[in-house]
Amino acid sequence: MHTHCLGHVVLYVRELDVSVAFYRDLLGLREMGSWPEQAVALSSGRTHHEVLLIAAGDAPGPLQGRRLGLYHIGFKIGNSTAELRQARDELETAGVTIDGMSDHTVTQALYLHDPDGNEVELYVDVSDDWRKQPELVMAPIKPLDLGDG
């Protein structure tokens, strides 16, 4: 067997409309289809859907801190620090709290939480050196200061 890529992530959400607004309107995923008031499929255009949101109503949220299970989901949003800076500015304008910013040597990332408390990483690829030096993927994490450009 050979896995080609991660196909999609399915998330249970408290309020479907609020989560759709986050993933579609803020992060820019395209709505592919829905079962009204039950579920919405979203895609970046790479495949039929990368995120499926399913309404769960008033259920317990995700555990925080070190625990077993999903830590976060990551979305590639570009290939430059300028694109990450633009995303930061858009998030700040929308009133979204950015919980962290990291330089991972081959990527740079912003970390935030969706309306249900799931951690989301927005990242840009800033180097493809990992193709020849795979160990760079596990390089020490450094703080990232995006400054003002």
- Predicted local distance difference test score (pLDDT) of residue 148: 76
Domain boundaries, the chain: 1-58, 72-143
| pLDDT per residue as tens digits for the range 31-46 | 999 999 999 999 999 9
Residues 6+ apart with CB under 8 A from 114: 11, 19, 22, 23, 120
Taking the CA atoms of 58, 60, 65 and 70 in sequence, report the sign of the dihedral they define. Answer: negative
Model confidence at 5, pLDDT cuts 50, 70, 90, reads confident
Report which of 76, 79, 63, 81 is spatially closest to residue 119, judged by C-alpha positions.
Answer: 63
Residue 61 has pLDDT above 90, yes or no: no
Q: Which helix (H) or strand (E) holds 92?
A: helix 81-93
Burial of residue 69, with CB atoms counted within 10 A of its CB: 0-12 exposed, 13-18 middle, 19 or more buried: exposed
Contact 41, 49 (CB under 8 A): yes
Select from 52, 120, 116, 64 the least CA-distant residue to 87: 120
**Prediction pTM value:** 0.93
What is the tens place of the pLDDT at every residue in 90-141?
A: 999 999 999 999 999 999 999 999 999 999 999 999 999 999 999 999 999 9
> Which among 67, 66, 68, 73 is positioned nearest to 116, based on CA atoms?
73
**CATH class given for the domain over 1-58:** alpha beta
Give dist(CA 110, CA 91) in Å, integer.
10
Is 72-143 a domain of CATH 3.40.50.1820?
Answer: no
Same fold, 1-58 and 72-143: yes
Over residues 3-30, the mean pLDDT reads 96
Q: How confident is the model at residue 149 (pLDDT cuts 50, 70, 90)?
A: low
